[in-house]
């Protein structure tokens, strides 16, 4: 669960995010969100150049049925497990810098498997630290990574991914240890 102060994204007196179905019970919202985003993930994803606008479009696509603000950067400060994410006033600038660097690196095309894993782990760690959306960052990150890998000629075998290992690797990357995340990504690269 995210920690934040007074949160205009939540129903008053609650930590439940305001949503299109007006669900006030967290378990019901979680169930709906999981179901609908899984359905949206099976649909064709928005096209784009794998830049900031494309990343926002991916989040919007996945969460459009759940949140009015899908695809829009958050406006509140949030933390998780005592770790503060990028302040909202810096999100746009940090995202633009990240995607400019990625573009300058030719979207990681032409790299060896190990180098692709290392560089994409860094991109994922940066996206996680910025955490541009109020909710749904992890699913947007994984979807984006899948597109980035495919475009770089390094498709991922997500059926091999252990969600608990991924979470642990993401937490480690937030603490400046990207090696577990790079190892996990390299293990997901196709033959």
Report the CATH number at residue 32.
1.10.3290.10
11 found inside a domain? no
- The residue segments making up the domain with residue 137 are 26-188
Residue 163 lies in a domain: yes
In a domain, 1, yes or no: no
Give the number of other Cβ atoms within 10 Å of residue 30's Cβ. 12
Is residue 107 a part of any domain in this protein? yes
- When divided into structural domains, the chain yields a total of 1
CB 142: neighbour CB atoms within 10 A?
Answer: 17
Per-residue pLDDT of the chain (191 residues; tens, 9 = 90+): 555 557 999 999 999 999 999 999 999 999 999 999 999 999 999 999 999 999 999 999 999 999 999 999 999 999 998 889 999 999 999 999 999 999 999 999 999 999 999 999 999 999 999 999 999 999 999 999 999 999 999 999 999 999 999 999 999 999 999 999 999 999 999 76
What are the structure tokens assigned to 84, written together?
Answer: 């503060």
Q: What is the pLDDT of residue 81?
A: 85
The answer to whether residue 52 sits within a structural domain is yes
Which structure tokens are listed for 63? Answer: 């969460």
Is residue 184 in a domain?
yes
Query: Positive or negative, the Cα torsion across 131, 134, 137, 143?
Result: negative
Contacts of 113 (CB under 8 A, 6+ apart): 154, 186, 189
Q: How far apart are CA 175 and CA 129, in angstroms?
A: 10
* Alpha-carbon torsion angle 100, 106, 111, 117, nearest 10: 30
């Amino acid at each position: 669960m995210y920690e934040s102060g007074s949160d205009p994204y939540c129903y008053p007196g609650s930590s439940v995010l305001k949503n299109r179905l007006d669900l006030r019970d967290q378990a019901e919202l979680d169930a709906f969100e999981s179901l609908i985003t899984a359905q949206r993930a099976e649909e064709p994803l928005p096209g784009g150049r794998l830049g900031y606008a494309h990343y926002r479009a991916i989040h919007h696509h996945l969460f459009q049925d759940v949140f009015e603000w899908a695809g829009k950067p958050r406006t509140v400060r949030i933390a998780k497990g005592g770790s503060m994410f990028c302040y909202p006033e810096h999100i746009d600038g940090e995202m633009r810098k990240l995607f400019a660097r990625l573009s300058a690196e030719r979207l990681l095309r032409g790299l060896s498997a190990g180098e692709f894993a290392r560089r994409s782990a860094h991109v994922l760690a940066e996206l996680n630290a910025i955490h541009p959306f109020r909710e749904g960052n992890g699913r947007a990150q994984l979807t984006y990574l899948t597109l980035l890998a495919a475009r770089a000629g390094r498709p991922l075998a997500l059926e091999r991914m252990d969600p608990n290992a991924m979470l642990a690797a993401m937490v480690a990357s937030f603490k400046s240890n990207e090696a577990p995340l790079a190892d996990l990504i390299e293990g997901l690269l196709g033959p």
